[in-house]
């Protein structure tokens, strides 16, 4: 198991280095061309990095409950599960993302969705700028994955629960609730995260 952890971590670092190099090339091309397409691509690249860093920085938050976890020996609420890779419990844990080295849970659903969305869009835009079919296929595969997790979350289920055969009636408002109810933010904040700072500033001024 320890070797598996090391292998996954090594894969994580290799892919991170690959995407950093790819994004550096993309940013360079965008700055050199300076067209509308290049600006949109640059925006997608920057936001994908923003959500990646946000997932890495954000800390896990748990409430105490009555259920004892045999692994971490702490009391948690329902729907809290233990992750062997992270060695800690998560509330509404969806899955462990080996590429991020983090668990996807209710604390970072929106950030993970934002990362995938802008990763997909930046890859698709870069495939146009570089005329590269491989980038297009990778971006398209990420887009298909977004559709898959959106479908699963619209059932108000995690990926683990969905793969175990659990099903609910899919509803868009359920997906919206999963993504935005926890963060108490509007949907446009996903695409314009810098507006969050302006809103916070306005609230402080009003107070």
pLDDT in tens, 149-190: 888 888 888 887 787 777 777 666 767 776 766 555 566 677
Each residue of 27-43: pLDDT tens digit? 887 778 778 888 888 88
Q: Are the CB atoms for 179 and 109 separated by under 8 Å?
A: yes
Task: Please tell me which of 49-53, 97-101, 139-143, 200-204 the model is most confident about, judged by mean pLDDT.
Answer: 139-143
- Predicted confidence at residue 202, as pLDDT, reads 41
Q: How far apart are CA 136 and CA 139, in angstroms?
A: 5
- Predicted confidence at residue 205, as pLDDT, reads 41
145, part of any domain:
yes
10, part of any domain:
yes
Positive/negative CA dihedral, 113, 119, 17, 2: positive
- In this prediction, residue 117 has a pLDDT band, given cuts at 50, 70 and 90, of very high
206, part of any domain:
no
196, part of any domain:
no
Each residue of 51-66: pLDDT tens digit? 888 888 887 766 666 6
**3-state class (DSSP) for residue 207:** coil
Q: What's the total number of domains in the chain?
A: 1
| Rounded CA Rg of the chain | 19
**Average pLDDT taken over every residue of the chain:** 77
pLDDT above 90 coverage of the chain, percent: 7
Positive/negative CA dihedral, 150, 154, 156, 157: negative
Report whether pLDDT(91) > 90. Answer: no
194, part of any domain:
no
198, part of any domain:
no
CA 29 to chain centre: 26
- Predicted confidence at residue 68, as pLDDT, reads 67
- Environment class of residue 34 by beta-carbon count within 10 Å: exposed (0-12), middle (13-18) or buried (19+)? exposed
90, part of any domain:
yes
Question: Concatenated DSSP letters for 24-70?
Answer: HHHHHHHHHH--HHHHHHHHHHHHHHHHHHHHHHPPP-----SEEPT
Range(s) of the domain holding residue 79? 1-180
195, part of any domain:
no
- Mean pLDDT to the nearest integer, 89-105: 82
- Mean pLDDT to the nearest integer, 120-139: 89
């Amino acid at each position: 198991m320890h070797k598996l952890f090391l292998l996954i971590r090594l894969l994580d670092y290799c892919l991170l280095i690959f995407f950093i190099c790819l994004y550096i090339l993309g940013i360079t091309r965008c700055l050199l061309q300076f067209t509308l397409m290049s600006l949109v691509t640059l925006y997608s690249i920057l936001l994908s990095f923003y959500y990646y860093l946000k997932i890495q920085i954000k800390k896990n938050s748990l409430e105490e409950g009555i259920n004892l976890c045999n692994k971490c020996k702490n009391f948690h609420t329902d729907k809290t599960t233990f992750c062997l890779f992270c060695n800690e419990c998560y509330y509404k844990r969806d899955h462990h993302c080996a590429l991020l080295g983090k668990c996807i849970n209710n604390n970072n659903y929106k950030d993970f969705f934002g990362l995938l969305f802008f990763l997909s869009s930046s890859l698709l835009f870069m495939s146009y700028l570089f005329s590269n079919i491989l980038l297009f296929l990778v971006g398209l595969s990420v887009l298909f994955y977004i559709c898959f997790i959106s479908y699963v979350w619209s059932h108000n289920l995690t990926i683990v629960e969905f793969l175990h055969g659990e099903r609910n009636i899919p509803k868009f408002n359920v997906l919206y609730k999963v993504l935005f109810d926890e963060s108490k933010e509007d949907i446009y904040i996903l695409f314009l995260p810098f507006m969050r700072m302006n809103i916070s500033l306005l609230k402080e001024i009003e107070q």
